[in-house]
Amino acid sequence: MDAAAPGPFPLRGIRVVVTAGGTREPIDPVRFLGNRSSGKMGNALAAACREAGAAVELITAALPPPAAPEVSVTQVETAAEMQRAVWTGLDRADVLLMAAAVADYRPRRVAAHKLKKSADELTLELVPTVDILESLREHPRRTRVLVVGFAAETDDLLANAADKLRRKGLDLIVLNDVGAPGVGMGSDDNAVTVLDPHGVVLTVQRSPKPEVARRLVGLVVERLARRHAV
């Protein structure tokens, strides 16, 4: 990894992987388990990184994928597919921005044919999906990559985000209160608090997601410069 370049393109020479959207876990050929993530925050991050001069790979579960100029797009659907794409991307990355909302559970069995509606109750047995961030502890390049996780929370915000940062061994975590009006999943605006292992390092009040993305990219540039200076 080269040091982040000064001037108008501070991420020139830096390779960034961004994940976006909510993964979908199939129930049958037409139904799935998912969440409300639109992919807007991840898309904005990919665009902001590209504006800063980075080579960007966007791994997205959002439909349809964005038409982002000069951004390499990998389309995925499930948590397992996203994990494989992230692991491959990390082989050549300096930064991972894990903005995707990855489903926590998947059906144990996927029906080969569409399940027919009946008067009977339908019970789905769910099992945990792969924990992508946790799995990165085993990746041979993990210590050379700046890993930024995201925490979408509705209660005990700072405590839950700090716990996730610690458990998953992240460098930074971006917390947003998805229960707050106007900044939840699918909104055009966001408001975030960023933590590192020592506490809060950045707060961005409600702003359009592209502006939030630029502020986050500025923090990434700062952290990369700090790593290079060590």
Angle formed by the axes of helices 209-229 and 40-51, nearest 10°: 50
Scanning the chain, the segments in alpha helix (DSSP H) are 40-51, 79-90, 132-135, 157-168, 209-229
Helix, strand, coil tally for the chain in percent (to 5)? 30, 30, 45
Q: How far is CA 163 from CA 2, 95, 138, in A?
A: 31, 21, 20
43 labelled catalytic: no
The C-alpha angle 10, 16, 20, rounded to 5 degrees, equals 125
The C-alpha angle 214, 144, 226, rounded to 5 degrees, equals 55
**Cβ–Cβ < 8 Å for 69, 118:** no
What's the first-to-final CA gap in the chain, in angstroms? 14
**Cβ–Cβ < 8 Å for 39, 117:** no
> Which residue type is seen at 30?
V
Could you give the residue numbers annotated as active site? 35
